Every structure is written in structure tokens, then in C-alpha cells.
Structure 1
Amino acid sequence: MRDYPAFPSLRSYLDWCRESGQFCMIDEPVSVRHQMTAVHRAVLEKSGPVLEFAHPVLDCGARADVPVIANLFGTKERVAAGLGVTFDRLEDLGAFLADLRSPSPPEGVRDALSRWPMLKAALTTRPKIVSSAPVQQVVHDGDQVDLSALPVQTHWPGDAGPLITWPVVITRPHGTQAQDVGTYNAGVYRAQVWDENRIIMRWLPHRGGAKHHHSWTRANEPTPVAIVLGADPATLLSAALPLPETVSELSFSGAFSGCRPRLVPAKTVPLLVPAEAEIVLEGWVSPTETAPEGPFGDHTGYYNPAEPFPVMQVTAITHRKDALYLSTYTGRPPDEPAIIGEVFNTLALPTIQAQIPEVRKLWLPPAACSYRMAIVSIDKRYPGQAQRVMMALWGMLPQFSFTKMIIVVDADIDPTDWEDVAWALATRMDPGQDVTLLERTPMDYLDFASPQPGLAGKMGIDATTKIGSETNRVWGRVMKTGDADANFAADLVARVLPGMGS
């Protein structure tokens, strides 16, 4: 399935960015406090290149020894490349991954042989365990641990302090062994640097890391955690992808990267970590100790209030000799999470269609903080079908449980075209009958419109043509120019007004 060579490390991906003219080195000193975020946002809004800040300036005024990489996935094309394909092949990759997750039995030898690429991709998910690794070329443990030496950004003026924004946080449930990679969770969570050797882990209850932490807490034991900074693009994107809880992101990353993930035993915790990463923070999350995390600016465009979250004691920092620190910012779209969300929207569609076959297209508008609103077009065949689709989407993935509004339209409406959607809302929806309201459902804690933190209502709007028992009226027919007349008009306009184009 790959259109690009394998990217087993962040560095190999950065080499491709350089070769394709999508990389810029910034030699001027730039402060990690506010300045770096301002530069990054200005470049991202212009669909600019990957940035390397060669001389980050720490809060103390000293220059960090570790350069900062930012805007890695600042365009949809680079996100697709991180998955190994060109942007126009995302739908093919999505279909491939849907088959990989739920394969149908082969129909004879020829069909089985045609599935060899799928088999190969499945085999690449098996990690390879190594005894030494670039990420452990330098080891700081015990009293040598000093998080203040890392160029961790303070992104917004109202932030509580330095915040790690691109961590791949690795955990496993209590009762498993370090070699049981299939049980691992790798998620991207907010991690606040509290002092030189402690981090506050902000993982919400519905996320895999929090679930694993809960299993260790029940046993009154600390949770072993590894925070990977600067992983390969496949691992980064797998950690951000809404995979089922039964799928290990570390294993699944092999299907994206085109090569088996290389893992190495961590130095001070019983976990395996990516061997080709730039930096790994090892430690233990307390079963009882918490600290106020925040406030921090988030993807909603607001600061969230400080709330108590578990504390991680960092026991070791391992890194490459010439390590790079990968960072990003989160804020009101556009930001990298919103861009990644657009790509995942395309990537997830075949999987959604496998569960809800009538779905034609799905759009999560980036301006609506990606998953807060969904517009879905369907092939409608029976009364009540729009409501069934709403309920199916809300229950399909944990991320959709935070979607506060779903608009369902017919297949002739383009969900990505607001004018098309507005026309469907204005002509195919009756507010008194076609609005479904739910109360007291799960919601993102950062949603300030919710009457209670983590609990809010949902709205579903049926903007489809009403059929059968849904209406007592004869439904209007859509006006449309005939194909022959449309072709005649296009030809005439092209000859008479050539500047208007086709």
C-alpha cells in the first residue's frame, strides 16, 4: 500500500521533508515561552513547512542543547505521508485498514494470494525486541533527572507552566507482563512539567491510559509509564488514531510504517519502548497523589480550569546523543490536531461504512473542534433511518460520544459544503419533528457549554427527505437541469466566455 519509503524513525521522516522542500531551519534564538507557539501558528496558517528551532531559549534565559521540531503534521499531505501514502490515496488506505481489522474469508486460492499485501501488513505489526537502541545512548537516572533542561514550551499567556504536547504515553494493565505488547496502550495526553522530576498526567477516564492506571490503583500499586518524545510518524499517528481498546497502537503502527516496530526494554520501569525514538521519560504514576493540572489553553480555544490529576515521578530520561524534541500547540483551529482530524475523517470512513453501510460521506468540521459536530450523508431507504444512524455513530467509538451535534442529510447533499447543508436544513427539516435531543450523556470536560463537567446533552437533526410514515404530504421534487442541456450550456459558455473556464 505504501507510496513512500518506510519511515522507521522521526529522523527518516524529517529527511524526506528536507528532500521534498518541506523543512525550514530557524537559526535565530526563539523563546519556548509564547514566542515559539506564535511562530508555529503563523507558519501553520500558511500551510508552511516543518520547523526546526535550532536555538530554543529556556525560561532561565539559557539556550537549550536540544533543538525543537514543530509543525510536523501542519498539512494534510504530510499527515498522509506519515501514514505512507499520498493524500489522494487515503480512501484506499482506509479501505485496506478496514479489511485488515475485519477481514472476510478468501474466495479461493487466487483471492487468498491477492491478499498477500494485507498479510504482509499484519505481519509487520509484530514488534521486534532489541537489547540496545539509539534512544538509550544517553541515560540520566536518579538525581541526574532534570526536566528543566528540556525545551518544553509554555504555549499561551494564561498557561500554568511548561506543557508537553506531543507525548506518546505508554502503559499496560495490572497483571500483565512487559513483553505483552498486545495489551499496551499508547495515547497522546497532556503532561504538565511540575518540577525537575515530576509530571502531572492529564488522562481522562474514557482513555486507555486512565483505564490502565485504574487497574494498578485498585491493587494499590504505582503505574509504570513511559513517555515517548519524538517517535516515528506511524507511532505518533497510531497513538492519536481512535482505535478500538482491544488494539495495541504500538503493534498497529507497523501496518502504517511498513516495517516491524523495534522495541527495547526501558531502564527503570517494566515496559518496552520504541527503540528509534528521540527521548523517553520513564517513571511511576502514584495510585494516590494528585496535583492541580492547568489551567492551559486547549483545542476549544479556551483555557480549561485547574483540576486534580495523578502525579508521575520520573525515574529516568533516556535519549539519543543528538536528540530532537518534538512539540506542537493546541488551540482554536487551525492547529495540528485539527489537521490530523481531517485526515482521520477520511481514513475512518470505510471502517464506519463497514458498521453502518448506508453512510456515504462523513465530515467533522475542523472549525467545530473536529469531533464536536458531524455531518453525515446516507442512502435513505426507510423511515427513522436518520435517527438510527445518529445512535449508531454516538455509540460506535469513544470519540463520537463527545459529538454534541449530528446532522444527517441525503446522498445528494455534500456534507463538506455548508451551502448544501444549509439548503437541506432549510427545506428538509422541521424543528418540531426532526430534532432528537438526548440528556445527561458523556461530554468532554473542556466543553464549557455543558451544564455539568463531563455530562451534557446531544442533538441530532434529520435533514433528509421524509418518506413513508415520516410525512403525510407529497414531498417536493428537486429541480435539476437535464444532462443534455447542461452539456450544451457548458460548451456554449466555454466558447463564448472562455475566460470563465469549465
Structure 2
Amino acid sequence: MREMPVFPDLRGFLSWCEARDDYASIAEPVALEHAMTAVHRAVLERGGPVLRFDHPLSGGQNVDMPVVTNLFGTTERVAAGLGVTLDRLDELGAFLASLRAPEPPEGARDALSRWPMLKAALATRPKVMKRAPVQAEVFKDDDVDLGRIPVQTHWPDDAGPLVTWPVVLTRPHGGEANEVNRYNAGVYRAQVIDRDKLIMRWLQHRGGAAHMRSWHTKGEAMPVAVVLGADPATLLSAALPLPETVSELTFAGALAGKRPRVVPAKTIPMMVPANAEIVIEGWVHPDDLAPEGPFGDHTGYYNAAEPFPVMQVTAITHRKDPLYLSTFTGRPPDEPAIIGEVFNRFSLPVIRAQIPEIRDLWLPPAACSYRMAVISIDKRYPGQARRVMMGLWGMLPQFSYTKMIVVVDDDIDPRNWDDIAWALATRMDPSRDVMTLERTPMDYLDFASPEPGLAGKIGIDATNKIGSETTRDWGDVMHTAAKDAKFAEDLLARCLPEVMS
């Protein structure tokens, strides 16, 4: 399915962007404190290019490491990072859905036709390297200094510098360092609090926190690797809502069409991506906590300061002349919202494999990308809309924090607010078609929830009512006849071409 060239590292992807005039360098000095975020945001809102800041300033002093931002600031670049163009996202989603749940071949010809699937599966096996670009420079012990990395302070009331695009690698207790298929890779923000200390903000339901518990119940510190500037497939795999049994690092091999390269870390028993820009190695010790935040978040609000685990850094390794990849989170649009927009389409075949009557779905970026969902279905029986709501909330983890679901018929475009408003106004009765739930899991950062981590959910059935759902005759939707529509098009093309242009 892959149409794009293989991007073995971040630099390969940046070169591809530059060849398309989708990459810009900023030579003027720009402050890491607030100003760089303001520039990035202004460019992202205009659908602009990847940015490279050549002269970042920290406290008025130059930091000798360029900063790259806005990497996934357009849906086209997100799709390219997955290896395809936007118009083939649905095909890629269907292919990966079949890779996750393959059917047995029906004969030799069918088996041969599945060679791309087999090739993708084989690409997930990591290749262990003896030497790696990311370890060209190694700093240990007293030479460790996070201040050499140009970490931004994004918003005026932020508590300090915040790493926002880390791929954080952990593994469960009892596993071996070379068992990369058991690793978890997550994008968890990390606050810099000292030259050799980071605060890891992973919530209790995330993979990193689960691994931490497996180590700490044994009274042992957990090894952690923070990867900065990974290749696009690894970055996007770490952000995807994959099942807990699927390793993001190995899944990245299937996305990239190339076996991932890893190398043993220098001071911890972990494998790390060989072609990354920077790797921070260290340990998280039991009961070593520090207050993290406040920081501006994807909700558009600052979250409160709360205790999270501290990572004691033991080494920083990086390429010669490394690049630091960064982003910001805030009220959409931001990069996470744009990535989420692509993931919606990408995930649809997987969701339809679980709930086949779903025809399309939209998670409005303005609703923080997952707080609200609009679902169109092929409706065939009474109560079907409610069944779909319950299925999404109960079966698919990525919808556990979606607090509002609107279900519409398949004649409604779920991405069109006018269509949604019409369906709500003409097919929904509040006394009959609204379902609410109490005390369900919710994003800890949702300040609207009555209790942290617990909140209600609402489902709205905005479909045509059939059978026992109504006692009234249901209206027929008006449509212009096809021959009349064609007559109008032809007439206007002749008489009022300026209207039709």
C-alpha cells in the first residue's frame, strides 16, 4: 500500500518536505519562552510548512541546537508519515485491519495475493545494530545536562520547559531488553525540573503507568528511554490507539515498510531506535514523585499541578548536529488535532470490523478531537442507534472518553454541521431520543466532569425513527428529481456560466 519513499529517520522526511517546498528555515533568533509557540501556531493555522528555527534563545542566550516544529501541521503530511496520500487512507486502514485479523487463504493464488501482508508482518521484526547515529555523542553522569536541549516553555502560565513530542519507551518487569515486541511506546509530556531530572506525566490507564506498576510492586526502579526526533512511522505509531497487545515499535515497521533499527542503550537495559535524533536514558524509582504543572493543555485550559513520577536521567545520546523536534498543545487547531483528523479515517475500517453498520464517523477537532463523535449508520431496526452508542463506549477503548455521541442516518454527512443540525432538528425528540450514563471513565483533564476521572455520557439518536420507535407516520425526505437537477445544471451552464464557474 505504501506510495511514499521509505523515511528511515526524521531527516529523510524533512528532505522530502523540503523537495515539495513544504519546509522553511527561520534564521532570526526566536525565544523558546512563548514566542516560538506563537510563531508555530500562526503558521499552523494557515496550513503552512514544517518550520526549522536555526537560532533558538533560552533566557536570551543562544542554544546550539535547531528546533523543528509543525511536522504534522497538515493532514497531507500526516498521511505521508503513514506512507500514503490522503486519498488512500481508507485503503491503508482496511489493509491494517486485515493484518490485525487475517482470514485464512482460500488457495495458492489467494496466498500469493497476500504477499504484501506477509511482507508487512515481517517488517515488524526489529534489526539490532551494533552502532547507531543516535549514539554518535554520549553524555553520562556529571556530563548530563538537559539544558543543552532547546526545550520550549509554551504558554505564559506554564510551570517551565516542557518536552511535548517524546516517544517514551518502557517494558514490563520480567521481560528481557531484547523483547522489543513487549515494549510500550507512548507520547507523554515530560517537564524538565533539573539538569538530570524529568517528570513523566503518564495517566494510570496508559501503558507506561502499567509497566511502572509491574516494576514498583517488586520494589525496583524501571528503565525508561525518552526518544526525541524519531522517524515518522514511530512517532505516529506511538500516538495511535493500538491494542495493549500490539507493540508500537514493531507496528512502526509495518507502517514504514522497513524493519525498525534498534541499538542497546548505553546505561539502561533497553533497546532504542538507532536513527532517532536524541535519546534520554534513565530510571523511574518507586515513590519518587514531584508536582507536575500547571501547563496549557489540549482542552484550551491550564491543568492543575499534580504529583507524577520523576525520571532520573543517566545518559543523553544524540546524533552529530542533532535536531530537536517539538510541538505545542492547546485549543484546536494544533498538531494533535490534525493527527486525530487523519486517524479518524485511518481507524474507520477497524471500527467497522467491530460494528459493521457504521458507515462513517467524525470526531470534530474543535471538540478536542475525541470528546464528541458523530456517527452515520445503515439503520435497519429499532434501537440500532443506541446499540451502536453502547458498542462504541463499551468495546473500543478510544471512545471511552467520548462524552457525546450523535448517531445519524447514512444520508447525513457527519462532517457537515448543517446536515447534523438538520438531523437534530427534524429526527430527534429530547424526551425519547436522548440516553445518558453516569460515573463513567473520563479524561482526567476534563474540568466539566463532577469528579476527576469520572463523568456522564450522552447519546443522541438523530436517525429516522422506524417500527416501534414511533407511533406516528414518519415524513418522506424531499429530493429534486434527477432529470430536473440535470436540466437546471445544463440551463445554468448555458445562460449563467458565471454562476456555475
| Residue aligning to 2:8 | 8
CA distance in 2: counterparts of 1:397 and 1:251, whole angstroms: 22
1:426-456 C-alpha deviation (Å, 9 max, x unpaired)? 1111101111100000111111100111110
Segments of 5+ residues of structure 1 without an aligned counterpart are none
Residue 397 of structure 1 deviates from its aligned partner by 3.1
CA distance in 2: counterparts of 1:481 and 1:73, whole angstroms: 41
Indicate yes or no: 2:35 matched with 1:35.
yes
Counterpart secondary structure, 1:402: coil
CA distance in 2: counterparts of 1:369 and 1:497, whole angstroms: 43
Q: Spell out the pairing of 1:271-420 with structure 2 (5 A cutoff).
A: 271-420=270-419
Indicate yes or no: 2:119 matched with 1:145.
no
What's the TM-score once normalised by structure 2's chain length? Answer: 0.99
| Residue aligning to 1:175 | 174
| Residue aligning to 2:494 | 495
Indicate yes or no: 2:445 matched with 1:446.
yes
CA distance in 2: counterparts of 1:75 and 1:394, whole angstroms: 29
Counterpart secondary structure, 2:109: helix
Counterpart secondary structure, 1:113: helix
CA distance in 1: counterparts of 2:493 and 2:112, whole angstroms: 49
| Residue aligning to 1:467 | 466
CA distance in 2: counterparts of 1:55 and 1:210, whole angstroms: 36
- Number of aligned residue pairs: give it: 501
124-133 vs 390-399, which moves further: 390-399
Superposition misfits of 4+ residues, deviation over 4 angstroms: none
CA distance in 2: counterparts of 1:223 and 1:394, whole angstroms: 33
Counterpart secondary structure, 1:485: helix
Q: Spell out the pairing of 1:71-110 with structure 2 (5 A cutoff).
A: 71-110=70-109
CA distance in 1: counterparts of 2:94 and 2:196, whole angstroms: 44
CA distance in 2: counterparts of 1:187 and 1:9, whole angstroms: 18
| Residue aligning to 1:241 | 240
Residue 487 of structure 1 deviates from its aligned partner by 1.2
Residue 69 of structure 1 deviates from its aligned partner by 0.4
| Residue aligning to 1:203 | 202
CA distance in 2: counterparts of 1:389 and 1:494, whole angstroms: 44
1:73-104 C-alpha deviation (Å, 9 max, x unpaired)? 00000000011111111111111111111111
Give the residue type in structure 2 aligned to 1:440. R
Residue 399 of structure 1 deviates from its aligned partner by 2.6
Residue 483 of structure 1 deviates from its aligned partner by 1.2
Contact 1:438-1:457 within 8 A present in 2 as well? yes
CA distance in 2: counterparts of 1:215 and 1:465, whole angstroms: 49
1:372-406 C-alpha deviation (Å, 9 max, x unpaired)? 00000000111111111111111233331110100
Q: Spell out the pairing of 1:214-293 with structure 2 (5 A cutoff).
A: 214-293=213-292
CA distance in 2: counterparts of 1:501 and 1:107, whole angstroms: 51
1:260-302 C-alpha deviation (Å, 9 max, x unpaired)? 0000011111110000000000000121111110000000000
439-448 vs 391-400, which moves further: 391-400
CA distance in 1: counterparts of 2:494 and 2:91, whole angstroms: 38
1:349-379 C-alpha deviation (Å, 9 max, x unpaired)? 0000011000000000000000000000000
Give the residue type in structure 2 aligned to 1:232. D
Indicate yes or no: 2:191 matched with 1:192.
yes
222-231 vs 391-400, which moves further: 391-400
Give the residue type in structure 2 aligned to 1:484. K
| Residue aligning to 2:420 | 421
Cα RMSD (Å)? 0.8
CA distance in 1: counterparts of 2:497 and 2:106, whole angstroms: 52
Counterpart secondary structure, 1:296: coil
Contact 1:242-1:397 within 8 A present in 2 as well? no
Counterpart secondary structure, 2:390: helix
CA distance in 2: counterparts of 1:271 and 1:282, whole angstroms: 9
1:186-220 C-alpha deviation (Å, 9 max, x unpaired)? 00001000111111110011111111111111111
Give the residue type in structure 2 aligned to 1:142. D
Contact 1:206-1:398 within 8 A present in 2 as well? no
CA distance in 2: counterparts of 1:283 and 1:492, whole angstroms: 72
Counterpart secondary structure, 1:333: coil
